[in-house]
Copies of this chain bind each other. A is one copy, B any other.
Amino acid sequence: MAEPLPDLIEEFVTDGMGDDPASILTALSGQDTVYIASLLESLPLERRLVVWEGIPRDRKLSVLVEMRSDPREILIDATPHNEWASIFADIDAEDLLELLDSLPTRLVDVAYEALDSQERKYFREATQFPDEQVGHWVSHELLVLPANAKVKEGLRLLRRDIPQHCDSIYLVNRSGQFTALVKIHRLFAAQEHSSLISMAEENVTMLVGTDESTAASLQVQRSGLSSLPVVDESNKLIGRLDIASASELMNEFYERQVMASAGMDEDEDLFSPVAKSARNRALWLGINLLTAFLASWFIGLFEATLQQVVALAVLMPVVASMGGIAGSQTLTLIVRGLALGQVTPANLRALMMKELKVGGLNGVIWALVIGIVAYFWFADALLGMVICLAILFNIVAAALAGVFVPFILDRLKIDPALSGSVILTTVTDIVGFVAFLGLGTLFLL
């Protein structure tokens, strides 16, 4: 059984295991590839390279395939050129597709040379689809028979090695078009001479190579089958998407959403080199700096007011923060709905009305609370009224922005999980500061 990951990490970081290749080999020999990949991602750079060297060459390919791109690239860069021929000895098209973005061109060539002609064809076919489409991720390990095949032929096929997560035989016609799917366990109860097609499943979903890969993965997860057939635009069978690949694609989709909220991508390395990590994150800091300066510029318009009523400066963060939080709640809900196909032009108006009401209700309640606190804090009823109105106004604006910002970004094919929160908080900051300082100028001077 697999040793829990944290123990493995401790062994390799703290206990100094891995200083000699023999001990690394022993410690890792019983471990799943997935755990070794995860261990490598969890090790500081120096240790990571030492352990990588200790991994036998015939396991290195499968370990690389399981890793995230950023930590993987560190290992690829550190591997001597003369090792690659043996690492790539058993590579297939799927492995190469998985590594494609991480390999320098000259190594892609080495790997491509190692493929046999069939795998080269699969590789070329897959790269015709971009990686957001399911055609890119298709598996070619299939059980296929002609549409008129008998149970006997099915049984002969099943005596051979069965691919992982393959619970069905696919039937195709003479043009190679997908016709039907027969679950292999049906053959246990079948007569040798009956036709396979007579025991086919009904209502099987076919995926098309150009289908968006997240939507296709969800369909596989919900199908009750181990994989769904993938066809081209003329219904020709090109492969299948199995539930393990579908789950990996879904996990990556969700990780991308989580990481995007902080302006990073799912391949970010826990221990990436400092310069690289700083560069990756600098862009996001820069964009946010621009929006922060924009907000400051708006505050600057009210310098005279701030000079006279310094309480406004003290309370500014409260107005901005409440708008930002309220807006990001709406935003998060809508971004999820968009990703799942549940938010559409048809129900947008109803959603906006509901969010406006929720915003209005919470706006009134918290505006009153904050108004009263401000009144007692600064002993100034007018100040209380000003902040009360500003909060109400900002929370309602936040609800509107929370619905429309992600919706419009989605229409423009910009990922709302990535850009939504920056734009939203820019809106709520500016609306909040202008409302608060504007009302302050009107009533408090």
Residues in A lying within 8 Å of B, measured CB to CB: 1-2, 4-6, 9-10, 13-14, 32, 34, 38, 41-44, 155, 158-159, 162, 164-165, 167, 183-185, 187-189, 203, 205-206, 219, 221-222, 224, 226, 243-244, 246-248, 250-251, 254-255, 257-259, 261-264, 268, 270-272, 274-275, 277-278, 281-282, 284-286, 288-289, 291-293, 295-296, 299-300, 303, 306-307, 310-311, 313-318, 320-322, 325-326, 328-329, 331-333, 335-337, 340-347, 350-351, 354, 357-358, 361-362, 365-366, 369-370, 373, 429, 433
Contact = CB atoms under 8 A, between A and B. Distances in A.
B322 A6 contact: no
A295 B320 CA distance: 12
A360 B329 CA distance: 32
B155 A347 contact: no
B329 A264 contact: yes
A325 B322 CA distance: 17
B336 A164 contact: no
Given A206-B1, A262-B329, A346-B13, A285 B337 contact: no
A299 B314 contact: yes
A326 B281 CA distance: 8
A6 B285 contact: no
Contact of A270 (B44, B187, B244, B351): B351
B322 A264 contact: no
Contacts of A158: 185, 188-189
B281 A329 contact: yes
A44 B354 contact: yes
A289 B303 CA distance: 25
Contacts of A332: 258-259, 261-262, 264
A306 B313 contact: yes
B344 A10 contact: yes
A317 B315 contact: no
A70 to B, nearest CB: 11
25 contacts: A1-B203, A2-B219, A5-B341, A6-B341, A9-B342, A13-B346, A13-B347, A38-B342, A42-B347, A44-B354, A159-B189, A221-B248, A243-B247, A247-B247, A247-B250, A254-B258, A261-B332, A277-B358, A278-B365, A285-B325, A288-B321, A292-B321, A295-B317, A303-B310, A306-B310
A320 to B, nearest CB: 7
Nearest to A260: B332
The 10 closest A-B pairs by CB, nearest first: A254-B254, A313-B313, A262-B332, A44-B350, A10-B346, A42-B342, A292-B321, A158-B188, A159-B189, A13-B346
A167 B317 CA distance: 58
A257 B251 CA distance: 12
A228 to B, nearest CB: 11
A324 to B, nearest CB: 8
Contacts of A292: 317-318, 321-322
A95 to B, nearest CB: 16
A196 to B, nearest CB: 14
Contacts of A268: 333
A55 B236 CA distance: 36
A206 B38 CA distance: 20
A433 B331 CA distance: 28
Nearest to A32: B222
A373 to B, nearest CB: 7
B325 A288 contact: yes
